[in-house]
């Protein structure tokens, strides 16, 4: 027992000596110093600052909610436009490249040109055939005029022969009215023969006119056939001119050339896509969730931010809504009537058009990411 007490006294003495040697004022000893108690004023200041910060957060959140509830936005949106893929309607070898990638072109401007010598030769041939057909038509009309003249001459001959026949018949009638004893029988027979002869000549003249009229009808048919031949030749010439015009590929609209895949000397086939023309008339296709469309309608103002164009947003308006969700027009549309059904919020493409003149100078391109913000309240 006395030994244990001695050990305890020695230990207490060692600890007291260590505490006496420790100096709290030395540098580096602050972390071992006992913590000081916070004053009441500092506690009140800390609580006041915390309340102010909390109130600011609450007010900011309320203001943000009041502002955000007036808008519907989505980041599932991009710049869109009509991309016109251009191709030749005929086959041939590329003779001239009139444009390069990313070049601005006007509507109707020549983009590419094929070797058109074969089509030019075909056009020359059809033009020669047209000239021949027109000459045949002219000849047929001349023959028609000749037949008409023959008819006029035949009618005149009919009138002469009819007059002679009438005169001969009148002479015969006079001879018959005279006393047979006062005139020779031979004179009466001669008058009768003359009347019959002139009547026969009149009949022959009338028959000749009928024959000439039949020839005139046949000539009319020949003229119509010649005119039809002219029209066929004209159609062939027009077709040859059209085929020759196809050797020049024209821009269907104004825009910028993109994705030119043809080079000088390439042989191309009809319908082969050679380049694309992207017009300056672009818009935004925004895929909003179906739950965001309740208050959305055409004509509402939109703020559009383009990732590639930092700065102030572009002003636009809602133009129209697609008649069907994106999944309906996908390659593999959903079959909800089969298997287990899981409801998925669908998205509906909304077309948003720019009414900001800055959009035409911003060098926008289809596919650029956009974030539209539609004001619905």
In what helix (H) or strand (E) does residue 95 lie, and over which residues does it extend?
strand 92-97
Q: Which residues contact 272 (CB under 8 A, 6 or more apart)?
A: 87, 88
Ordered DSSP codes for 333-367: ---TTSS-------EEEEEEEE--GGGGGTT--TT
Residue 22 is predicted with a pLDDT of: 44
- 17-50 per-position pLDDT tens digit: 445 444 444 444 445 555 656 677 787 888 888 8
Phi, psi of 80 (to 5 degrees): -135, 160
Residue-wise pLDDT tens digits, 178-237: 666 666 677 666 767 777 777 777 777 777 777 777 777 777 888 888 889 999 999 999
Tokens of 243: 């085929």
Confidence of residue 68 (pLDDT cuts 50, 70, 90): low
**Residue predicted with more confidence, 247 or 342:** 247
- pLDDT, mean of residues 249-265: 93
Task: Give residue-wise pLDDT tens across range 115-163.
Answer: 999 999 999 999 999 999 999 888 888 887 777 777 777 777 777 777 7
1 pLDDT above the threshold of 50: no
- Domains detected in the chain: 73-82+277-375 (2.40.30.170), 85-116+248-276 (2.40.50.100), 118-244 (1.20.1270.60)
Residue 34: predicted pLDDT: 58
Reported as a pLDDT band with limits 50, 70 and 90, residue 363 is confident
Cα dist from 11 to 8, 16, 19, 236, whole Å: 5, 9, 12, 126
């Amino acid at each position: 027992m006395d030994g244990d007490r001695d050990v305890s006294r020695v230990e207490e003495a060692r600890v007291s000596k260590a505490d006496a040697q420790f100096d709290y004022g030395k540098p580096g000893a602050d972390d071992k110093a006992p913590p000081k108690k916070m004053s009441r004023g500092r506690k009140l200041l800390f609580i006041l600052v915390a309340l102010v910060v909390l109130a600011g957060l609450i007010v900011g959140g309320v203001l943000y909610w009041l502002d955000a509830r007036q808008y519907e936005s989505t980041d599932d949106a991009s710049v869109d436009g009509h991309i016109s893929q251009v191709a030749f309607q005929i086959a041939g070898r590329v003779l001239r490249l009139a444009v390069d990638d990313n070049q601005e072109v006007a509507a109707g401007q020549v983009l590419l040109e094929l070797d058109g010598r074969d089509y030019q030769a075909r056009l020359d041939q059809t033009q020669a055939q047209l000239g021949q057909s027109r000459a045949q038509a002219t000849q047929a009309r001349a023959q028609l005029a000749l037949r008409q003249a023959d008819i006029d001459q035949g009618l005149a001959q009919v009138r002469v022969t009819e007059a002679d026949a009438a005169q001969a018949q009148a002479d015969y009638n006079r001879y018959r009215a005279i006393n047979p004893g006062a005139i020779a029988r031979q004179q009466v027979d001669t008058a009768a023969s003359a009347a019959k002869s002139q009547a026969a000549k009149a009949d022959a003249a009338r028959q000749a006119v009928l024959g000439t009229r039949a020839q005139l009808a046949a000539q009319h048919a020949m003229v119509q056939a010649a005119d039809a031949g002219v029209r066929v030749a004209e159609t062939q010439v027009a077709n040859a001119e059209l085929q020759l015009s196809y050797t020049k590929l024209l821009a269907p609209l104004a825009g910028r050339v993109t994705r030119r895949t043809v080079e000088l000397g390439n042989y191309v086939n009809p319908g082969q896509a050679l380049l694309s023309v992207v017009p300056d008339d672009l818009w935004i296709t925004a895929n909003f969730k179906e739950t965001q469309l309740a208050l959305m309608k055409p004509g509402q103002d939109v703020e559009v931010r383009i990732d590639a164009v930092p700065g102030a947003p572009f002003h636009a308006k809602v133009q129209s809504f697609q008649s069907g969700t994106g999944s309906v027009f996908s390659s593999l549309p959903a079959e909800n009537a089969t298997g287990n059904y899981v409801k998925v919020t669908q998205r509906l493409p909304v077309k948003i058009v720019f009414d900001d003149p800055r959009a035409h100078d911003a060098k926008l391109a289809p596919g650029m990411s956009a974030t539209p913000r539609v004001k619905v309240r």
